[in-house]
Amino acid sequence: MELVQIYQCFCDPTRLRILHLLTQTSLCVCHFQEVLDEPQVKISKHLAYLRARDLVETKRSGNWIIYSLPSRRSAELELNLQCLQDCTVTDPVFRKDQQRLTRLQAKCCEPAGVFAKESNPFKIQ
């Protein structure tokens, strides 16, 4: 039952928040840190957990490791990600994360932004 693995990944609040962000955009670890306001080791280990169970994929770009949802997803995963998105709409935690992500994207992509150059994770995808 592949389903169980999906739910194991879903059953931690930090991982849920990570997955919620990934339904919006790919992200590198430091941006997860910033949006979720959690220590690097915590983020990194939850990402490793998700990666070991094929819920995320990685791509290196210079010093960054860009995390994204798998390009090819099983029907079960697709359904559950959609369901998760429906559930996050009303929850304050997810909404706040969403706002912080939007602000981070704006900051990084404005002309004088910290990551305004070619190395901007939001532009790599």
Q: Which is nearer to its own copies, 38 or 116 (CB)?
A: 38
What region, left, alpha or beta, does residue 44 occupy, with left being phi > 0 and alpha being psi -120 to 50 degrees?
A: alpha
Q: Please tell me whether residue 37 binds its own copies under the rule CB under 8 A.
A: no
- 32 by Cβ neighbours in 10 Å (0-12 / 13-18 / 19+) ranks as buried
Please report, for residues 84, 93, 117, 124, the alpha-carbon distance to residue 49 in angstroms, rounded to integers and kept in the order given.
18, 22, 31, 24
CA distances from 17 to 21, 62, 71, 114 (A): 6, 25, 19, 24
Question: Is residue 116 near DNA by the rule CB under 7 A?
Answer: no
Q: How far is CA 117 from the centre of its chain?
A: 22
Which stretch in 3-11, 55-63, 96-104, 105-113 sits in contact with its own copies by CB under 8 A? Answer: 3-11
Site residue total, its own copies (CB under 8 A): 23
Examine residue 1 and tell whether it contacts its own copies (CB under 8 A). Answer: yes
Binds DNA by CB under 7 A, chosen from 2, 3, 7, 8? 8
Q: How far is the CB of 125 from its own copies (least distance, A)?
A: 27
Helix (H, G, I), strand (E, B) or coil at 37: coil
Here's the x/- map for its own copies, 56-85, by CB under 8 A: it reads as: -------------------xx--xx-xxx-
Q: Which residues bind DNA (CB under 7 A)?
A: 8, 11-12, 14-15, 28-30, 33, 38-42, 44-49, 58, 60, 62-65, 119
